[in-house]
């Protein structure tokens, strides 16, 4: 992988790793589905200034529904049903395994022995970190979290398919127009399932915190993160790009220690090391895709 692409991957990891701390703060003031809808709505406003990309509505909807609606409805509903926020950054990385599974099932990519070994290390790492946090996750929270991870993986595959077809998912126009379906659908779900009174009762200070959280999620995690991520998927196989996200829970745990005074156990440290080894193993065995 080229150095500039490695730096893009690092930027994604840093922005997304920090986003889970921002989610924790934002959910103090905003209902989860409304929060998710607002992050997409801010970016979707850009369609007023950029034309629709030369990509079919079908692919825009497919990407928007998987990457946007399924992933973030799953994530925020998991938090609503009792998933600890600090654990959400770990379980979201199950998208790596869904990406590998979906890619192999579709016959797009194959798994070498090196990648299988890296996958085994990643599974061990995630299990160690999860065991450190809690062994008693509510079933609904776990189910929604798995659904969100599968949604992220489906977005990876759509972005990769577009790249293979010579289309670009790493443009501002694409991200803006793909944000429209989740903004509308998540907004509708929020209107149906959540009370707007919580937002109407916000004080000026709370409204300022909520606005800052939405802007970080929209401009940082969504816009910058997605543009960089899809640029990587344009140049490399999903099985090479997806494991970079395994660094996100490492950053999430470190931020938990620094910002929320969480303690790291030996299991958590071992899990982080296992994830790093998994990433190195996968990078060592992967080749650049020919497009």
Q: pLDDT-based confidence at 290, cuts 50/70/90? A: very low
Taking 3-state DSSP, the helix, strand and coil percentages for the chain, each rounded to the nearest 5, stand at 80, 0, 20
pLDDT greater than 90 at residue 69: yes
pLDDT surpassing 50 at residue 289: no
**pLDDT score, position 283:** 58
CB neighbours (10 Å) of residue 194? Answer: 18
Residue 17 has a pLDDT of 85
pLDDT at 85 over 60: yes
What's the pLDDT at 120?
A: 85
Q: Which of 119, 235, 125, 221 is nearest to 170 (CA)?
A: 235
Question: Nearest 5 degrees, angle CA 255-CA 260-CA 265?
Answer: 70
Q: Is the pLDDT of residue 221 over 80?
A: yes
Residues with Cβ within 8 Å of residue 103, at least 6 apart in sequence: 109, 157, 160, 237, 238, 239
Under 8 Å between Cβ of 180 and 47:
yes
The pLDDT tens digits for 120-155 are 887 887 788 767 555 556 778 888 988 999 999 999
77-103: burial string, b at 16+ Cβ within 10 Å, e else: bbbbbebbbbbbbbbbbbbbbbbbebb
3-class SS of residue 87 = helix
Between 117 and 284, where is the model more confident?
Answer: 117
Instruction: Give the C-alpha separation, 95 to 81, whole Å.
Output: 20
Lowest mean pLDDT among 2-16, 70-84, 235-249: 235-249
Length of the chain, please? 291
Least confident of 106-120, 178-192, 217-231, 268-282: 268-282
CA-to-CA dists, residue 97 to 103, 142, 245, angstroms: 10, 16, 11
Give 27's DSSP letter. T
Query: With b meaning 16 or more CB within 10 Å and e meaning fewer, what string describes 164-187?
Result: eeebbbbbebbbbbbbbbbbbbbb
Residue 218: DSSP 8-state = I
Least confident of 87-101, 201-215, 254-268: 254-268
**Least reliable range by pLDDT among 10-14, 30-34, 43-47, 268-272:** 268-272
Q: Is the pLDDT at 34 greater than 50, yes or no?
A: yes
């Amino acid at each position: 992988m080229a150095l500039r692409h490695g730096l893009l991957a690092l930027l994604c990891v840093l922005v997304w790793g920090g986003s889970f701390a921002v989610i924790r703060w934002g959910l103090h003031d905003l209902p989860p589905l409304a929060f998710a809808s607002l992050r997409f709505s801010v970016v979707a406003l850009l369609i007023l200034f950029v034309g629709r990309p030369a990509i079919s509505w079908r692919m825009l909807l497919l990407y928007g529904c998987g990457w946007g609606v399924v992933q973030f409805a799953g994530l925020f509903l998991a938090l609503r049903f009792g998933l600890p926020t600090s654990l959400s950054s770990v379980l979201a990385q199950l998208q790596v395994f869904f990406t590998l599974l979906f890619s192999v099932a579709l016959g797009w990519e194959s798994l070498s022995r090196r990648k299988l070994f890296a996958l085994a290390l990643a599974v061990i790492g995630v299990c160690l970190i999860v065991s450190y946090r809690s062994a008693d996750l509510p079933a609904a929270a776990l189910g929604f979290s798995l659904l969100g991870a599968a949604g992220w993986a489906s977005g990876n595959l759509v972005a990769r398919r577009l790249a293979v077809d010579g289309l670009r998912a790493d443009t501002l126009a694409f991200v803006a127009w793909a944000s429209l379906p989740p903004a509308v659908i998540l907004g509708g779900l929020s209107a149906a399932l959540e009370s707007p009174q919580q937002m109407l009762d916000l004080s000026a200070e709370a409204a300022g915190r909520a606005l800052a959280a939405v802007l970080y999620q929209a401009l940082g995690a969504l816009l910058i993160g997605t543009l960089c991520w899809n640029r990587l998927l344009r140049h490399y196989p999903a099985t090479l790009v997806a494991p970079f996200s395994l660094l996100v829970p490492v950053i999430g745990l470190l931020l938990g220690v620094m910002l929320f005074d969480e303690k790291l156990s030996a299991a958590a440290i071992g899990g982080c090391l296992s994830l790093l080894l998994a990433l190195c193993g996968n990078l060592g065995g992967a080749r650049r895709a020919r497009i």
